[in-house]
Amino acid sequence: MKQQLLTRIHDRTAVVGIVGLGYVGLPLAMEFAKAGFKVIGFDVSTRVCDLLMSGKSHIQDVPSDEVAAMVRGGRFEATADEARLRECDAISIAVPTPLGKTRDPDMSYVNAATDTIARNAHAGMLIVLESTTYPGTTREVMQPRLEATGLTVGEDVFLAFSPERVDPGNATWHTKNTPKVVGGITPACTEVAMALYGSCIDTPVAVGSTEAAELVKLLENTFRSVNIGLVNEMAIVCDKLGVNVWEVIDAAATKPFGFMKFTPGPGIGGHCIPLDPHYLAWKMRTLNYKTRFIDLASEINSSMPDFVVEKIAHALNEERKAVNGSTVLVIGVAYKKNIDDMRESPALDVMRLLEERGAVVEYHDPFVASFREDGHERRSVALTADRLGAADAVVIVTDHDGVDYQAIMDAASLVVDTRNAAARTRTSRARVVSLSATSTAGATQPAAPTRERPALAAR
């Protein structure tokens, strides 16, 4: 079975299935199709399948003309019919792995995908899980479900884990040129999975087990979460000391060794960094071990929206205004710049906290025209001089490159800048309040009278 599958992969006669056609699955499907494979994309959403079959992409990083070309050429087909998976020789699973309310892993999507594949599995098939999860998932959750069909993993079918490394909006690193970690249940599983990904990914990287591959992704994002937590705490430290955190970080980054630059912000978002470390923390709790770094970083990062709202409230108070009744214009609601992805965006927390205090909140985002939350629809407002001037505070939460920050500084009276976007501008009419350190008066308008506190006073 292994040799037959390897032959079909090498001569491109293997049919590749992708379960889940979202931020991970669709880019991967396009890479396999461009490499010469016939790709069957399966998604439970008939709306998504119909959209793709009409040649339109719902993912920002995948151009619609690319999807249309693959559909026209017969290389890609999207379907909600699970029976089509029987045609596949290899299947990659790219479904969500959210956390529950108690921060326990929600494995329902992975379980459902595995059961769907098991109902349609056949000898000579490779199954690869790409969804981020806790170490042991592939072996402990997927393998028993597949082998319940009578197929033996490593002999009849092949099972592996290969963590997705998608970075939405990254113009340099994408699916094809980002190294791909692969770990199988058995050496034969690893060999087959390496052959499959090596056919369309520039650099496949083998590890010795599925557990090692699962842990790779968790280490990567835990590393980022901990370091972001460190610089976020440093922003709070600098704020209390009256020091500009951006200046400190930029100066530290001149060191050519022993330092890696991370920047603070209003919180963390996306599907990976806010969630992935908790898969590892949950797994370790089952082994009676407390992951202290992970828990502390999560505590600091999740507190940043509250810190930002306190900044806004204090800035308004210095203008002799209350949060209650003030109009606050939020710039950027995506979780990071230059993308339309709002998953776990700290902007949503900032907006909610402001509204709980009675503020009238509007937003502008060139990538997010509208969104629904708690049954209410919000729409992006135009970034006009009149609207900027009318706002009691403008808060830069996500610093999209396409936003005219000079226009903001010229028209607004108060800007709370959580991303150091004001550094990109030449002059400012606005009073600018940074994430740390003291406020700076505008170039043509003096700051409102304030009672300055000693630099080391508690705030």
Residue 456: pLDDT above 70?
no
Of 238, 268, 266, the closest CA to residue 250 belongs to 238
Check whether 75 has a pLDDT greater than 70. Answer: yes
Using pLDDT thresholds of 50, 70 and 90, give the confidence band for residue 67.
Answer: very high
Q: What confidence tens digit (pLDDT) does each residue in 429-450 have? A: 899 999 987 666 554 433 333 3
Cβ atoms 88, 69 nearer than 8 A: no
Contact between residue 423 and residue 432 where contact means Cβ atoms under 8 Å apart: no
**Rounded distance between C-alpha atoms, residue 71 and residue 457, angstroms:** 64
Q: Closest Cα partner for 308 from 412, 374, 396?
A: 396
What does the DSSP assignment read for 154-171?
TTTEEEEE------TT-S
Contact 370, 378 (CB under 8 A): yes
**DSSP 8-state class, residue 367:** T
Report the helix count and the strand count for the chain, using DSSP H and E.
Answer: 15, 15
pLDDT at 442: 58
The CA distance from 43 to 53, in Å, is 12
Q: What percent of the chain has pLDDT over 90?
A: 89
> Could you tell me the pLDDT band of residue 101, with boundaries at 50, 70 and 90?
confident
Q: Is the pLDDT of residue 198 over 50?
A: yes
Name the residue with tokens 């969500």: 96
Active site residues: 272
Locate 389 and state its tokens: 């001037």
- Domains of the chain, CATH where assigned: 2-208 (3.40.50.720), 211-459 (3.40.50.720)
What's CA 112's distance to the chain center, in Å?
Answer: 23
| Beta bridge mates, 126 | 90, 158
44: CB partners within 8 A, 6+ apart: 80
Kindly state the average pLDDT of the residues 196-225.
97
What percent of the chain clears pLDDT 70, i.e. is strictly above it? 95
Strand partners, 329: 362, 394
Q: Which helix (H) or strand (E) holds 109?
A: helix 108-120
Give φ, ψ of 130 to 5 degrees: -110, -15
Q: Is the pLDDT of residue 459 over 90?
A: no
Which tens digits make up the pLDDT trace of 368-425?
999 998 888 999 999 999 999 999 999 999 999 999 999 999 999 999 999 999 999 9
Measured distance CA(174)–CA(189) in Å, rounded: 25
Residue 9 near residue 32, CB atoms below 8 Å: no
CA distances (Å), 277 to each of 26, 293, 296, 344, in order? 25, 10, 11, 14
Provide the 3-class DSSP secondary structure of residue 17: strand
- Band (pLDDT 50/70/90 cuts) for residue 333 is very high
pLDDT averaged over the chain?
Answer: 93
- Look-up: residue for tokens 């708690």? 374
- Give pLDDT, residue 444: 40
Any idea which of 326-330, 355-359, 438-442 has the lowest mean pLDDT? 438-442
Question: Cα-flanking dihedrals φ and ψ of residue 3, to 5°?
Answer: -65, -40
DSSP 39-69: EEEE-S-HHHHHHHHTT--SSTTS-HHHHHH
CA distances (Å), origin 140, targets 111, 144, 162, 381:
11, 7, 16, 49
pTM above 0.85, yes or no: yes
**DSSP secondary structure, 71-105, as one string:** HHTTSEEEES-GGGGGG-SEEEE-----B-TTS-B
The mean pLDDT value for 153-173 works out to 94
96: number of Cβ within 10 Å: 17
- Which of 52, 45, 48 is CA-nearest to residue 66? 52
